[in-house]
Structure 1
Amino acid sequence: MTEVPFIAIEGPIGVGKTSLAKKLSAQLQFHLLKEIVEENPFLGKFYDDIAEWSFQTEMFFLCNRFKQLEDIDKKYLQQQKPVIADYHIFKNMIFASRTLSKDKLDKYRRIYAILTEDMPLPNMIIYLHASLDTLLKRIARRGRDIEQNIQPSYLMQLAADYETYMDAFEKMHPEIPVIRIDGDKCDFVQHQEDLERIYQQVVSHLNKPATIFKA
């Protein structure tokens, strides 16, 4: 685990990871790392037919996220420059475990283990979670064409998978603080006071004095 601040924001599709990462990176003056989503050429086909296109989709995400994090480690973390990301590569196993058949998942796990062996762990995670209704509303509000065929059942299963994974992550890595944010009760896009509360929690874990949040 790196000593320079490396914050990862995680949670299911539509919960607001990128929006929060942008706002906090601007306030904290941390480098912003955004995941590649819409550039995945298989994603639209994946939402139409998960079984047929899951392996191609997950491999594209894995390779691109590996390259992003490798670059971030060399250019920022190793240079003592703090980073906030709207994902971490561990999310790949959450999605792959849900979508891949057993034989393909076994292959994927082996590739994942090799690629991530030396990847830096975040030293703080902000975990956003919300009900299915909230996720669907936020997905509709942002209006990405590629997400219009997401099935509510898949989204509900994914949210449950995140809960299971994050519970296990906290037990496995008690040294890494996890800030849990309930997206049903907290709307940091619409309400400045909600954003400020999150910011105060983050700076408290960073052990640095909080400045006035700049809207």
Structure 2
Amino acid sequence: MKYRFIAIDGPMSSGKTDLTEVLGKHYRGRTVLDERDNNPFLELFYQDPERYAFQCQIFYLFNRYHQLVAIKQYDLFHQVVLCDYLFERDRLYAHVLLNDSELNLYDKIFSLLVGRVPKPDLVMVLQVSDNILWRRLRKLKKRDDYLFTKEFVFSINQAYNQFFYNYDASPLLILNVEAWDQIVQQADIQAIVHHIETLKGGRTYISPISSLGSLFGDRDERSSS
């Protein structure tokens, strides 16, 4: 497999963590998952978002930085690494959540760190429309997703779309997941694996209806990732 470090990203509830774990099993690779629940400022953020958004984002930024820097210690020649986020993802949330003065300080810290983290060989982004994303989130019981407003969810989704529209730092595989609900069997990932292993660089867009419709089952239970 020519791609040794793969980052999989997308807005909340798009299925990125599920896909990361399934592909990790397929390639017998190491998975790096976002530790979103270990943030000591999260409860305070729920109570007072405006006051604690900066502390919350800075913790996430440094936590993800340390996770990704550790990847340099892995033997990428012998084991594929799959991560369920791109480092730049945190900045998308920061631009939505922080005020101007907080964002200015955040960007200064971000600029010091971004050049030190390893760059993925391949980025996969999961795309879904605003309304379908909102409908999926409304069916969840997880507290952090459930508290998001429609305006916030739409803003994050649009930030993703805009960022990846201009992204050219690595080969990009764009998966439209509007018709997908949840990964079913490991054997069902063969279509995605085929696209990964035949991708020659640049930007590739995959429609689930024509080529990947069988990857996800039509289930009522949703996974937030």
Shorter-chain TM-score: which interval? 0.7 to 0.9
Q: Where does structure 2 lack aligned partners over 5 or more consecutive residues? A: 202-214, 216-225
Q: Which portions of structure 1, spanning 4 or more consecutive aligned residues, are displaced by more than 6 angstroms?
A: 191-194
2:4: which partner in 1? 5
Q: CA deviation at 1:37?
A: 0.6
- Report the TM-score when normalising by structure 1: 0.82
Residues of 2 paired with 1:11 and 1:115: CA distance?
A: 22
8 Å contact kept, 1:48–1:149: no
Q: Does 1:93 align with 2:91?
A: yes
Helix, strand or coil at the partner of 2:22: helix
Q: CA deviation at 1:97?
A: 1.3
Sequence identity percentage: 24
Helix, strand or coil at the partner of 2:167: helix
8 Å contact kept, 2:6–2:121: yes
Of 136, 143, 146 in structure 2, the residue corresponding to residue 145 of structure 1 is 143
Encode CA deviations 1:11-62: one digit per residue, 9 max, x unaligned.
Answer: 1111111000001110011110101111113234435543222101110101
2:208: which partner in 1? none
Q: CA deviation at 1:144?
A: 1.7
Q: Aligned residues, how many? A: 201
Helix, strand or coil at the partner of 2:173: strand
Residues of 2 paired with 1:26 and 1:184: CA distance?
A: 24
2:192: which partner in 1? 198
- Report the TM-score when normalising by structure 2: 0.79
Residues of 2 paired with 1:142 and 1:98: CA distance?
A: 22
Residues of 2 paired with 1:84 and 1:119: CA distance?
A: 14
8 Å contact kept, 1:12–1:159: yes
Q: Does 1:18 align with 2:12?
A: no
Q: How has the CA–CA distance of structure 1 residues 131 and 192 changed in structure 2, closer, same or farther, with 3 Å as cutoff?
A: farther
8 Å contact kept, 1:97–1:105: yes
Residues of 2 paired with 1:48 and 1:200: CA distance?
A: 45
Write out aligned runs for 1:96-175 (5 A).
96-140=94-138, 143-170=141-168, 173=169
8 Å contact kept, 1:6–1:82: yes
8 Å contact kept, 1:31–1:82: yes
Q: How has the CA–CA distance of structure 1 residues 166 and 48 changed in structure 2, closer, same or farther, with 3 Å as cutoff?
A: farther
Q: Look up the equivalent residue of 2:171 and give its one-letter code.
A: P
1:54: which partner in 2? 53
Q: Where does structure 1 lack aligned partners over 5 or more consecutive residues? A: 208-212
Residues of 1 paired with 2:195 and 2:139: CA distance?
A: 27
8 Å contact kept, 2:26–2:186: no
Q: CA deviation at 1:91?
A: 0.6
1:64: which partner in 2? 63
Q: Look up the equivalent residue of 2:28 and give its one-letter code.
A: Q
Q: How has the CA–CA distance of structure 1 residues 200 and 4 changed in structure 2, closer, same or farther, with 3 Å as cutoff?
A: closer
Residues of 1 paired with 2:190 and 2:121: CA distance?
A: 21
Q: Does 1:180 align with 2:180?
A: no
Q: Look up the equivalent residue of 2:36 and give its one-letter code.
A: V
